[in-house]
Every structure is written in C-alpha cells, then in structure tokens.
Structure 1
C-alpha cells in the first residue's frame, strides 16, 4: 500500500508521497513514488503513483524514455500542449500497460489483477496550475473548488485532517505542516505506509520546484510535528466535558 496527496492552493501545488512497498509483513522495501520533469521557464510536471509496483514502474519508464529518446518517439510529456493532454497521455499509457499485463496473465478472470492509480500535477506556461487523478481504466478527473486535493493509496486515516485543515489561501508552509500531520496520522494507523516521505512544492508561474526534499525518520521537524500533534490530541481530549454514569438532573430537581 502507499499514501500520496496532491493539493491545489491559490499559490500553486503541493505534493507528498510515502516510499513503502510490501508483499507481506516480512518483505518491505523502499521505492520512490514521486517523479518530476520540467523545462525551465516553460513547464513543470510531477507524478505520484500507487498500486502494483511493476505496473507503475513500467508507466514511469516509458514516460522517461519518451522524454529522452529521439523526437519521433511520441507522445512526450514535454511536448504536450496542455496539462489536460498530459493527463490523457498518462491515462492511455496506464490503461495499455494494465491491459497488456492482464492479457499475459492467462484467460480473462484467471490471472492476477494488476491495478494502479496516478496523480498528475503541474503547469505549462500561459495556463493555470492543474491537478488530475488518473484511474486504472485510463480516465481521469480534475481538481476543482469543491475537490481541491486528491489522495491515492491508503486514504482514510489522513483524509479527516485534510478536510478540517485545508484552506485554498493557506501558505505553502502551512500546507506542508498539514500534510505532515495527515501522513503522521496515516503512519500511526497503517504499517503499509512508511517513511521516508517525498515532498514537492510548485509555485505558480515558476516552472521549477520551489521546494523539494526527502523527509526521513530522523527529520527534526517531522519528529516535532508527530510528538506535538499527539500531545495536542491528548490535551484536546482531556479538555472535553466529562461523561457521567449518573442520570442527568431534570429541571425540577435543579430548581
């Protein structure tokens, strides 16, 4: 399993992904799930993946080849005229990879089920920053005012944090802090999500990463966020009204 989040702000885009993959509790590995391409002054594109590792690596490898190979090997993310076309290229490639692997697995319904989902974020000069979630079937949806962030992988533990804390006008720094809390909550609840985390911040009209780093288990800021959030939850819990086994007093008794 994995956990990835892409978020749209007024100032740009923020993405974070974990790096854990596992095939059972005794076979845990670290693999990068965030990939980025940019042409200075012209475009920046970041992709995060979740699902079958062989499937997502095949998609990423083919996209990488198209950005480096001779010009006739198209379509390339670096040549697509819009982010919509970028999402279309990724969706078509994901669907084709899954279908090929499914066909190689034997008769329909008998082979293993290969599935994956992808978050695509970025901006092309002259256009708005955009965020898409691509499904295994190759279709996709775009983030909007009503749905300003996407999650893939193990989403349920970190989602309440995002729903309560997100604001489109928040600073990049606050957005990173919010994602740290969301990832810490997921990490505490599910062993299939793990450090290190990869972080990418894309500022509007910058066309290169504003901030990019890997967050390890020894990261002092993440350690402070994790311990402070746990303590804040305990304090909030103890500040709530106490429950009593005694029946509540009726109005006549109070008078």
Structure 2
C-alpha cells in the first residue's frame, strides 16, 4: 500500500510520500515513489505514484526516455501542468493496457496506477494535478488545496482542519508529515522511509528530505502530536450527565 499527498498554497508546493510497497509477515519492500525533473529557471516537476509497481515504474521509465530522446511531447515541452497531466495519463493508460494484455499468470490482476504531478513552468503559477488510472485528471480547488493517492482516509482529517491557501510552507510540511504519521499508525502497509519535497513559488529550486524509521525529528513529531492530542481531548467540555434522557424501560 502507498500514501502520497501534495499541497498547494500561495507560498508554493509540498509533496510527501512513503516508500513501503509490501509489508508481509516475513518481507518488507521499499521503493521510492517520488520523481523529480528540473530545468533551471524554466520548469520544475515532481511526480508521486501509487498502485501497481510494474505500471508505475514503467510509466516513470517512459517519462525519462521521452526526456532523454527529446520526444515531441515530454516534461521538457509541455506548456502547462494540465498538459503534463494529460501526457502522464496517456502513458499510464498505455502501460496498463500493455500489462493487462499479457495474459498468462497475470490474468485477473489489477495493473491500475495513480499519479500526482505538480510543479511550475515559467510564466505560470505552481499547480497540482491528480492523474487517475483511466488517464483523466483533476486539480486542487480553493476549498481543497491538496491531493491524495493511495491510502488516503486516515491522513485526511488533519489536512481538512489545517490547510488553506494562506498556510506557510513550514506549516504545510508539518501537516503533511502528521498526515503521514496518522496513516502509518492506522495502516501498517504504509511506512518509512518518508520523502518530503518543498517547493517555494518562483524559486525553481526544490528542497528534499528523507526520514528513516529511526529519524529523530520524525520520532519527536510523532511524540509531540500524540501528547497534544491527548491534552486537547482532556480539555474538551465535560458531558452534563444531569441532562441525560431518562430510561424508557419500565421500573
């Protein structure tokens, strides 16, 4: 399982992904799910992936080949994030069809994959798009300035409560990490290493971080969040037991 989240604010973009792809009884596999492409001063892209590993790796490999071979359409040539998402969606559909048509032992398997692509092209604002397995895509909105793929439900509440377009990059980064921690706590198939990328608007420069399982900051963040949640719960208004309804059962 996978969890990836990307956030867009006036200040820029934040991307966060786990690296666990399999968490069986006797085997844990890790693969990076974040890909970065940059042309200094011109364009900056980050891609997050979730779903069938064979499909996601094939899609990223094709993206890299198109850049290397100077293909007519690639991350080097697309005019905006929407076109980049459409390009990624087309490759995604092609790779899924290719794997599904193989037959044999792969019959009945799902080769679906989802992606988040975001970044900035000179002359435009930083933007995000989520690419569905079917190849179509959506973008963020004013009320929902984030996108998620993979195991999204556990990390969603903190995003809804904290994030706005005015949120700072630092607070959005911490929010993404708390969202990831909440997901890891409730789903053991999501796990470290955790990758975090922070893009400041118009900088055309990306800051990347990696947090392993024994990372001190990640431990401190988790401990502090658990404690603050407990403290907040203890301060909730007490239930007035005198206002309870009387039992309808005969005395």
User: Aligned to 1:141, which of 133, 138, 141?
Assistant: 138
Cα distance in 2, alignment partners of residues 112 and 30 from structure 1: 21
Cα distance in 2, alignment partners of residues 247 and 41 from structure 1: 64
User: Aligned to 2:162, which of 160, 165, 168?
Assistant: 165
Cα distance in 1, alignment partners of residues 83 and 23 from structure 2: 34
SS at match of 1:50: strand
Residue matched to 1:239: 235
Task: For 1:150-161, list aligned pairs within 5 A.
Answer: 150-161=147-158
Per-residue CA deviation, residues 117-168 of structure 1 (Å, 9 max, x unaligned), is 0000011000111100000010001112133100000101000010001121
Task: For 1:51-70, list aligned pairs within 5 A.
Answer: 51-69=51-69
Contact 1:2 1:21 in 2 (8 A): yes
5+ residue gaps, structure 1, are 251-255
1:241, distance to aligned residue in structure 2 (A) = 3.6
User: Aligned to 2:99, which of 95, 98, 101?
Assistant: 101
Aligned pairs, how many?
Answer: 246
Cα distance in 1, alignment partners of residues 157 and 55 from structure 2: 29
1:243, distance to aligned residue in structure 2 (A) = 4.6
Task: For 1:134-213, list aligned pairs within 5 A.
Answer: 134-209=131-206, 211-213=207-209
SS at match of 1:104: coil
Contact 1:35 1:48 in 2 (8 A): yes
Residue matched to 1:43: 43
Contact 1:39 1:208 in 2 (8 A): no
CA RMSD of aligned residues (A): 2.1
Residue matched to 1:253: none
CA 1:104–1:165: 2 relative to 1, 3 Å: same
CA 1:173–1:247: 2 relative to 1, 3 Å: closer
Cα distance in 1, alignment partners of residues 185 and 23 from structure 2: 19
Contact 2:52 2:110 in 1 (8 A): no
Cα distance in 2, alignment partners of residues 208 and 247 from structure 1: 58
